[in-house]
Structure 1
Amino acid sequence: MSKDAKNVPALRFKGYSDAWEKRKLGEVLLERNSRSGAKQLLSVTIKQGVIKAEDSGRKDNSSSDLSNYKLVKVGDIPYNSMRMWQGASGYSYFEGIVSPAYTVLIPSTETDGLFLSYDIKRNKMLSVFQRHSQGLTSDTWNLKYPQLSSIHVRVPKKNEQIQIRQALTKLDALIAATQDKIDAFEQIKKAFLQHLFDQSWRFGEYSELWTSHLLGEITSKVTEKNTENLYHETFTNSAKYGIVEQQSFFDKLISNEANLTNYYVVRENDFVYNPRISNLAPVGPVRRNKLNRTGVMSPLYYVFKATNAAYPMFLEYFFKGESWYRFMYLNGDTGARSDRFAIKDKVFEQMPVKLPEESEQKKIGALLQNLETVMNQTQERLQKIRTIKDSLLKSLFV
């Protein structure tokens, strides 16, 4: 490999061939030490970069005297010196002030600030910042400007810097717009789950009142055990992903595949519920088996199936709403730990459920499933865009 080959990125825009220059960060990023207490307070985050403190969702613990706070101008790059190795930096689109514990950087005239803001958040640079941070433990690691300024980077001419950051900012705008769509879909789904199940929203052709049932009247508990050890695929119930294969979810098989005779057999459209719930995070949601195959679940789970009165997809979305959580919290038994409780099978079966006629159940289920399909497709698109960005961050920089 030639000497110059180490100083050029793997991917370049047409028209550029010069090797990138090796520079110290102190040559391309100067320090701003101006103080001001009469500006809006800013926060520097790992994921969002520089944001207004009022938008951070955190309580303002700053002192009333902000006169010693550091001034940040539009185009500056402030960073948290104790979290620089984690990526707590960003290009500022706002004028404001930050804690005096932070460092504020000013891009030099021959340097594009947005270009550098992307460069210093790359994993490769974060590893360098970690090595140069001072302190005995990760809680005390600190990267002040004198140490940062001595770190070397490679930079192209400013025109190439601008083209690189333009490509990345367009991707960021696309990521933000796609995330906004997902957030909007979440709100729509939440509204549907509330108003469809409290009957305030109805399909026009339906007016009959829904009938009241107990869960145990419209479902039957699955008691079939894997006594012959016929089924060897173990499922688990993930709060985020639903019923999934245990080995792929945990990257290992937790159950003893050679002896699953005491496990429940779970078939397609069966429901699984973990009766042990956390007050801090509900880890035991009811999930329908949509894997199109039969497997087994630990006997710690409660497995049941819908009877003819309840359409499985309708019942699935009932359990994605809020009403059943209220029932659980009102009827659960607190154990030795105050943050956890369990609910007995007989109590679970007494949960009230209202059902419309079968055709309305199917329409509600289909509507919500179609919405979730669009949401999942949008989420997949977002992940692909992020993957493209990660790849460009590796290929467009040295």
Structure 2
Amino acid sequence: MITSRTKKIQQQDIPKLRFKNFDDTWNEKELGDLFIERSERGGGEKYNLLSITLRDGIKKQESSNKTDNSSEDKSNYKIVRVGDIAYNTMRMWQGASGVSDLEGIVSPAYTVVKLKSGCVDFYKYLFKKPRTIFDFYRYSQGLTSDTWNLKYKHFSEVAVKIPDKQEQEKIASFLESVDKFIENLQTHKEYLLEYKKGMMQKIFSKEICFRDEKENLYPDWKKKKLSDFLIERNEQVPKSDQYPLMAFVAYKGVTPKGERYNREFLVNDNENKKYKRTEYGDFIYSSNNLETGSIGLNCFGFASISPVYSIFKITESCDHKFMGSYLVRKSFINKMIRYRQGVVYGQWKIHESDFLRIEEKIPSIEEQQKIADFLSAIDELISIKREQITNAEQWKKGLLQQMFV
């Protein structure tokens, strides 16, 4: 006789979303029953140095955009074979693992495991499931997040629920097609970003010229000081409902404070502490972080931000969207940096008065608007692509929750 409690247990052993013709319950196994640790070591030029990333899994070190901190003597490095899973022992609790498509070596601080039988790509996705990552966190050893580590001994004790090999392969194949779909969206987005970058270079160097409605060229660009069309905004007041406290994030501009940026709970913040007010269309920069994208327009609206930022209102003689693109180009940032004072990072300052003395060749307001409209149309396509990527990633996240037990 099958009781209601038995049915409930059986339901817990079956995923919510399942392919047809698969009816068996999933079995619980410890990872030590499924994987063995690979202990081969050695170096040599025939092996690629591999890196494990949170987002992209295992890649060649040279293509990972990570600093190569490897030792010169790699004789003790761990060998990774095609089909192995390698993980960052100290970051497995964050999901730093991947299946290797390459033969290579990784740091001795990493762990390499080989699947005894089954579909290894199934485990690639299982190890990204939030519940599994939480279990990796629970089994990690160490007093603080800087020292937490998951060596094979404790990795082998983690219990997971798995289907038979055929269902594993079906799930992995489907999720790989989802990844390919997301990858195609990302490739298209990168193409649009590169296209915009190339067009901006051609427009601002006058390689491409716009014409008016009568097909006449616009007047020559005229050299002007920034003070001719920018006015410093230095209103320092406490935050308010009308001007909420916001962050100024690299390449994103004014945005709501997320967990990463909201540190108010760490300090005794005086309600009367003063911040700088900013409004929609303002131009903002951080003297310390120009090279990393802390420069651009306020596309949000009324906000209060840290007083370390320099804020300027763009007058009606210029199109703010044009200026938002024109004043963030690399050649202009390099020109700004010449005015930077201070000895070390954190003390650097480009005084607003020096900034306003910078001269630039500026087109007529009509041509500015024409250029801004053109670039805005590309931005709209990029925004659509970003939204599609976000939706696809959320869809995948939901699949990971429903296709696994």
Per-residue CA distance 1:303-355 (angstroms, 9 max, x = gap): 544445322322222223224322321123327x5433223333222121222
The one of 226, 242, 266 equivalent to 2:253 is 242
- Write the mapping of 1:105-124 to structure 2, written as runs, cut at 5 A: 105-109=113-117, 111-124=118-131
The one of 64, 70, 81 equivalent to 1:61 is 70
The one-letter code sitting in structure 1 at the alignment partner of 2:404 is F
Deviation at 1:281, TM superposition (A): 5.6
Per-residue CA distance 1:113-140 (angstroms, 9 max, x = gap): 0001211232211222222223343333
**Distance across 2 between alignment mates of 1:53 and 1:225:** 47
Q: Which moved more, 1:50-59 or 1:11-20?
A: 50-59
Deviation at 1:259, TM superposition (A): 7.9
Q: Which residue of 1 aligns with 2:194?
A: 187
Is the alpha carbon distance of 1:223 and 1:112 closer, same or farther for their aligned partners in structure 2, counting shifts above 3 Å? closer
**Distance across 1 between alignment mates of 2:306 and 2:30:** 58
The one-letter code sitting in structure 1 at the alignment partner of 2:249 is A
The one-letter code sitting in structure 2 at the alignment partner of 1:21 is N
Q: Which residue of 2 aligns with 1:360?
A: 367
Q: Which residue of 1 aligns with 2:93?
A: 85
- Write the mapping of 1:236-385 to structure 2, written as runs, cut at 5 A: 236=246, 238-240=248-250, 241-244=252-255, 250=262, 268-269=280-281, 271-274=282-285, 276-279=286-289, 285-289=295-299, 291=301, 303-334=311-342, 338-385=345-392
The one of 243, 265, 276 equivalent to 1:233 is 243
In 2, are the aligned partners of 1:273 and 1:301 still within 8 Å (CA)?
yes
The one-letter code sitting in structure 1 at the alignment partner of 2:243 is E
Structure 2 residues not aligned, in runs of 5+: none
The one-letter code sitting in structure 1 at the alignment partner of 2:168 is Q
TM-score (norm 2): 0.82
Deviation at 1:20, TM superposition (A): 0.3
Q: Which residue of 1 aligns with 2:27?
A: 21
**Distance across 1 between alignment mates of 2:307 and 2:147:** 46
Is the alpha carbon distance of 1:343 and 1:36 closer, same or farther for their aligned partners in structure 2, counting shifts above 3 Å? closer
Q: Work out the percentage of aligned pairs sharing the same amino acid.
A: 30
Structure 1 residues not aligned, in runs of 5+: none
The one-letter code sitting in structure 2 at the alignment partner of 1:106 is K
Per-residue CA distance 1:9-39 (angstroms, 9 max, x = gap): 1221122221101112122222333345343
Is the alpha carbon distance of 1:308 and 1:39 closer, same or farther for their aligned partners in structure 2, counting shifts above 3 Å? closer
- Is 1:95 paired with 2:106? no
Helix, strand or coil at the partner of 1:353: strand
Per-residue CA distance 1:131-167 (angstroms, 9 max, x = gap): 2223343333332323222322111011111111112
Q: Which residue of 2 aligns with 1:39?
A: 47
- Is 1:215 paired with 2:226? yes
In 2, are the aligned partners of 1:324 and 1:351 still within 8 Å (CA)?
no
**Distance across 1 between alignment mates of 2:314 and 2:41:** 66
Deviation at 1:220, TM superposition (A): 4.2
Is the alpha carbon distance of 1:328 and 1:126 closer, same or farther for their aligned partners in structure 2, counting shifts above 3 Å? same
**Distance across 1 between alignment mates of 2:303 and 2:150:** 52
Deviation at 1:379, TM superposition (A): 0.9
**Distance across 1 between alignment mates of 2:255 and 2:373:** 22
Count of residue correspondences: 388
Is the alpha carbon distance of 1:195 and 1:339 closer, same or farther for their aligned partners in structure 2, counting shifts above 3 Å? farther
The one-letter code sitting in structure 2 at the alignment partner of 1:23 is K
Helix, strand or coil at the partner of 1:195: helix
In 1, are the aligned partners of 2:290 and 2:333 still within 8 Å (CA)?
no
The one-letter code sitting in structure 1 at the alignment partner of 2:92 is M
- Write the mapping of 1:140-219 to structure 2, written as runs, cut at 5 A: 140-203=147-210, 205-206=216-217, 208-219=219-230
Deviation at 1:207, TM superposition (A): 6.3
TM-score (norm 1): 0.83
The one-letter code sitting in structure 2 at the alignment partner of 1:376 is S
Is the alpha carbon distance of 1:369 and 1:102 closer, same or farther for their aligned partners in structure 2, counting shifts above 3 Å? same
Helix, strand or coil at the partner of 1:375: helix
Deviation at 1:224, TM superposition (A): 8.4
Helix, strand or coil at the partner of 2:348: strand
In 2, are the aligned partners of 1:279 and 1:340 still within 8 Å (CA)?
no
